[in-house]
Structure 1
Amino acid sequence: MTNSQNSPENAPDPAFLASLTTWLKSAAPQIGVPVSLNKFSTGQSNPTYRLQTDLGTMDGRFVLRTQPAGLLLKSAHAVEREYRVMKALATSPVPVPDMIIACDAPDVVGMKFFIMREVDGETLFDPALASYSVDDRRALFYAKIEVLAALAAIDPVAQGLEGFGKPTGYIDRQFATWTRQYRASETETIAAMEFLITELPACLDREIPGFCIIHGDFRLDNLLIRNRTEVAALIDWELSTLGPAFIDLSYWCAMLRMESSWPIGGLGGINRASLGIPDEAQLVSAFCAKTGLDRPANWEALIAFQCFRFASILQGVLKRHLDGNASADNAASVGGQARLVAMLGADILSRYLRKTI
């Protein structure tokens, strides 16, 4: 987490650091004494800070992740789930930061939090990877497929995640959850969202193959990249759960369909082949080859579902901005993208429905 585009700023109240320091002296003395705590400027959900201790250099660099201040939606900002899943994955092929300690008592600093070791890696935000060579672009895209395939191959129970999610009913639960979250964050009527909420349930396959750990927000800026083509860590596991193997892949593919000009942009309108970037069919084919699974027949409806889900997430970002407790500086523009993403999803679902009539 050492990228200049995601540099820490905005030190918290000194009382926050003082309370944290007192708690750490007994709870985690091995990480040293905190000397500074600075907030990263990006990250839309859970505030994230670089914690520097007196151990010096990288040995003394940690990351503190907390719930945001203010009234929280039920089941949102589950930092304890992030900590649990990354700690469980420490012995797996999926790269994650080393977990240090978690605190579920909100009275220490005012909210739940956890601390992990900082990873030496870069956060990227441009899915077109403009500064990359053709070969490096292709290599990084397929490196991401390797991570997804590795995640899909893990037995959640054997990895210590029994009870982390229910073995069946993922699609219906997610649809109900994100409809509820959207209604709780709704600031205006978005016709495309109403269309998706009405039409999606009849289109979604409840028998998507595979059962695995789901990251829940698999996209470029939740990966830390080292040496240009190596995934050093997969971070931001707040939305993680258990469910079908194609959920993370379909979410990433939906993200890539978004227009490149949007605040959180994709590759819409960009000639992927000229940049050496695999197209969607190639990414899906590579994942299927690695996992031995077949692509769901209703793939387009699943992409529309992921647009609905992401639009609901963005609406929550906008609502937190309007309520004054947004985590990132660009929350207004990012949250305002909810309508655009919903419109994309509605268009995809409309075309899918026309083909199935």
Structure 2
Amino acid sequence: MPAHIETGPPGLDLDRLRDRLARHGLAEGPLAAEVIHGGKSNLTYLVRDGGRRFVVRRPPLGHVLATAHDMGREYRVMTALRDTGVPVPRTYHLCEDPDVVGAPFYVMEYVEGGQPPATPAIEADLVDVLARLHDVDPAAVGLADFGRPEGFLERQVKRWKRQLDASRSRDLPDIDHLFARLAGAVPKTQRHAIVHGDFKLGNTLIAGGQVRAVLDWEMSTLGDPLTDLALFLLYGDFAALDIAEPGEAGEHMPSAGLAGRYARGTGLDISRLGWYVALACFKLAVISEGIHFRYTQGLTVGDGFDEIGEHVAPLVTHGLQALESLED
């Protein structure tokens, strides 16, 4: 290994990172790093100092929207959940100084595991983990001020509309219709809880058929837990939408069975779940459009970005169908 490394992967200056981590006793000697591929938002790197491995997370290289890609939010919620029944990596350091690597970043534990194809047993474990998350008392883990749960759903609909408007680069008329229908039929929240914001198999590490770590907490907040459930179920339906990614393939438990398991574990009423599924479709459509915009501007790192824009239309259609099912 060279005695001195001047640069690393895109977005990670290893000299500056080494100096920062050395001051906090987290690394010794020169660093080597590589991008951990799979995510389409924040950048994740596996970093080695010769004897240890750890993970560094930072925002994307450009077109960073307000309220998105919040490193402090991810770091805080994982730190708070460390001693609960929710499996999360241990957190080591948060750097909010953008001069070190060009953006805020944090360092966390490297957890052994992977993302195998879905199985009914794995999905059942995921739903149980989700129910445990939603059972955590935010105040008991220091997260009472982590969000503003009152009016959460109304703000979610408006927020994703703002994100859409900030990423518009082509005509998508049906997405505005989906927004209007969501805004006109917001249900009442039954329980305020810590929500992950992007809960899916692809944002976990699995080993031995069990969930070892839940990752990617950038969208976490206090809000309506059924938003997490609906998004998780939507990811399971991706194969039917012909937009499946690694981690969504495999043998899936029927959505109704997963929803019923969650309802039994939490005691929540899921009769209006179709609205939440439609919101999940709107959210993923907006995120996909934002990634598509960054791709067209040459601001993405890694493979698979060229097809993300094709996900938007089927997500919008599925969302409208979910709303129509509530009217049957």
- Please list the CA deviations of residues 290-324 of structure 1 after superposition, one character each: whole Å capped at 9, or x if unmatched: 112222x3221221111011111111111111121
Change (3 A) 1:335 1:79: farther
Equivalence for 1:190: 172
- The root-mean-square deviation of aligned C-alpha atoms, in Å, is 2.1
- Please list the CA deviations of residues 27-86 of structure 1 after superposition, one character each: whole Å capped at 9, or x if unmatched: x214433430111222111111001123x2xxx110000112224211111111001100
Equivalence for 2:9: 12
Whether 1:38 aligns to 2:18 is no
User: Please, which runs of 5 or more residues in structure 1 have no aligned partner?
Assistant: 1-9, 130-136
- Please list the CA deviations of residues 225-256 of structure 1 after superposition, one character each: whole Å capped at 9, or x if unmatched: 011x1100000001111112212111111222
Contact kept in structure 2, 1:263 and 1:333, CA below 8 Å? no
- Paired with 2:291 and 2:212, the residues of 1 have a C-alpha distance of 27
Equivalence for 1:259: 239
- Paired with 1:253 and 1:149, the residues of 2 have a C-alpha distance of 14
Matched length: 321
Whether 1:244 aligns to 2:241 is no
Equivalence for 1:3: none
Matched position secondary structure for 1:233:
strand
Equivalence for 1:285: 260
| Deviation, structure 1 residue 266 | 9.0
Q: Counterparts of 1:326-345 in structure 2 under 5 Å?
A: 326-345=300-319
Residue type of the alignment partner of 1:280: S
Residue type of the alignment partner of 1:144: L
| Deviation, structure 1 residue 13 | 6.0
| Deviation, structure 1 residue 113 | 0.3
| Deviation, structure 1 residue 263 | 4.7
| Deviation, structure 1 residue 154 | 0.2
User: Please, which runs of 5 or more residues in structure 2 have no aligned partner?
Assistant: 1-6
Equivalence for 1:308: 282
Whether 1:96 aligns to 2:88 is yes
Equivalence for 1:29: 25
- Please list the CA deviations of residues 81-112 of structure 1 after superposition, one character each: whole Å capped at 9, or x if unmatched: 00110011111110000101010010111111
- Paired with 1:351 and 1:95, the residues of 2 have a C-alpha distance of 35
Contact kept in structure 2, 1:193 and 1:346, CA below 8 Å? no
Change (3 A) 1:49 1:317: same
- Paired with 2:172 and 2:267, the residues of 1 have a C-alpha distance of 39
Name which of structure 1's ranges 333-342 and 73-82 shifts more when overlaid on structure 2: 333-342
Q: Counterparts of 1:206-217 in structure 2 under 5 Å?
A: 207-217=188-198
- Please list the CA deviations of residues 246-284 of structure 1 after superposition, one character each: whole Å capped at 9, or x if unmatched: 1211111122223353253897xx9x9xx5x42112111
Give the TM-score normalised by the residue count of structure 2. Answer: 0.92
Equivalence for 1:132: none
- Paired with 2:217 and 2:293, the residues of 1 have a C-alpha distance of 21
- Paired with 1:144 and 1:263, the residues of 2 have a C-alpha distance of 18
- Paired with 1:80 and 1:18, the residues of 2 have a C-alpha distance of 23
Equivalence for 1:221: 202
- Please list the CA deviations of residues 165-222 of structure 1 after superposition, one character each: whole Å capped at 9, or x if unmatched: 11311111111110000111112122320210121112220x2222111000011110
| Deviation, structure 1 residue 17 | 0.3
Contact kept in structure 1, 2:10 and 2:301, CA below 8 Å? no
| Deviation, structure 1 residue 162 | 2.1
Change (3 A) 1:72 1:15: closer
